Every structure is written in structure tokens, then in C-alpha cells.
Amino acid sequence: MEKVSSLPKLAAPAQRALASAGITQLEQLTKITEAELLQLHGMGKNALGTLREVLKAQGLSFRKSGVGNMDETIRDHLDNIRSEDGQLQNKAYSELMSITEKPVSWAYEAWDELIEGLTHKDNHVRAISAQLLANLAKSDPKGRMFKDFEKLLAVTKDEKFVTARHCLQSIWKVGLGGKNQQIMVVKGLEKRYHECVKEKNGTLIRYDIIVDLRNLYEATTSSEIKEKALELIELEEDVKYKRKYATVWKKL
């Protein structure tokens, strides 16, 4: 493949950002990190993605941020979340969900693009982004989730119910980030429990919320969470569904 040294065509703000940093050749991008590039005024995620793909096509890459941050494998998985190849997308989802079960050091390098993914045109991207963000709450020492939680909660109302449910069933993991995150999650779930009563799948949503609270309780043993769950169950007027919700907590 013929080597390309010139920069690709980008939006005007991104072009000005590169020019202001004295970057005129593709090879110069190998001397800086993605995080450093994003600090330039006018440089956005779309332009960064274009530059990343052009570098990759030439066998090049941005300078690594340092030990412990995102490596090329993680970067490829994040890119493949948006792939039109279902197998690649599913593999990326599976790998990233497994990796983020434990705290990771690269959460903030992926955070913004996952937030953008919550409103992506592909409902699979929305679902994956929501689940990954819930997992990354344990890797959020800066507390960014406090600002973005409502965006995550909004996906539980997604027009595609399967997407909404995938988000709802994982959102309890945000509470693993700490006590204040637990409080935020419980309040958010309580709000959804009240408002979903008029929704098409309201009883199923309520059941998932009760399971969420059970999962969070088992992970934290917080008595306040159990009390809130039992309180919500009592609000169910249909005896059949009240019994169904109660079975989630029977063994406790």
C-alpha cells in the first residue's frame, strides 16, 4: 500500500485545530495521544475517529497515553461496537462487558463516545453503550456518572423495548460506584417504578426494577435498598403482580 503523508479532509474547526498545533503531516500524529489531540479547540470525536482510521490504514497510530491506559485491542473493540458486521459487534460487546466487570484505567477515554452512543441510530449501539457505561461506574473516580446518569436512565424508555430492557437490567451496576451512586440509582429506579405504570410493558418494567434492587442489595447489603424495594412492591394494586414481585425477595 502506498504511504500517505498528507492529512485527510476534515471539518474546518478540526483543520484549524491541527494547524494551530503545527500539525500538517499524518506522521506528526504519532507523536501525540488521542487525549492531547482532543484538548485542541475545535477537535471533536468525529474528526478524531477519521484520523484514527487513516492512521490505522497506514499501519500507524497515536502515541500511547502510558501504562495502564487503553490499548489497541480495547480501541478496536470500541470501534467495532458501531460495526455493521453483527459478529464483530457481538464479539466487541462480549469482550468489553467481561473486561469492565472489574475497574479499568481507560474509562474516561471511552466515556464520551459511549454517552454519544446512547442516542445512536442503531439500537444495538444504544444498548451496548448503556450496559458498558453501567459497568464503568466502578471506574469513575471523578464522579462523571452524577452528571450523565439521567442520560442513561432515559435509555430505559427507548423506543425499542428490548434496548430499554437491556439498559434497565444493567443500570443497578451504577450503584457499585459508591454510596452516593447507590442513592442515585435507587431514586432513579423509584421514579421509573412510579411513571411506568401507564406504559405498555409497565408490569415487566416494575419486575425488572425490583430485580435491580435485589441485585444491588446483594452487592451492598444496604438495608435501605431492601426497605425501598418492599415499599415499592406494596404499591402494586394487582395482587397477581404484587406476589410475582415479592417472590424476588422471599428468600431474604
Query: In the structure, what pLDDT confidence band is assigned to residue 23 with cuts at 50, 70 and 90?
Result: confident
Q: Residue 67: its pLDDT value, please?
A: 44
Cα Rg of the chain, angstroms: 21
Q: What's residue 252's pLDDT?
A: 57
Select from 147, 109, 110 the least CA-distant residue to 129: 110
C-alpha cell of 161?
423495548
DSSP labels for 49-82?
HHHHHHHHHTT--PPP--TTS--HHHHHHHHHTT
Question: At 6, phi and psi to the nearest 5?
Answer: -80, 155
Average pLDDT in the chain: 90
CA-to-CA separations, 184 to 64, 142, 148, 152, in angstroms, rounded = 35, 16, 11, 12
- pLDDT of the residue at 1: 44
pLDDT per position as a tens digit, 207-226:
999 999 999 999 999 999 99
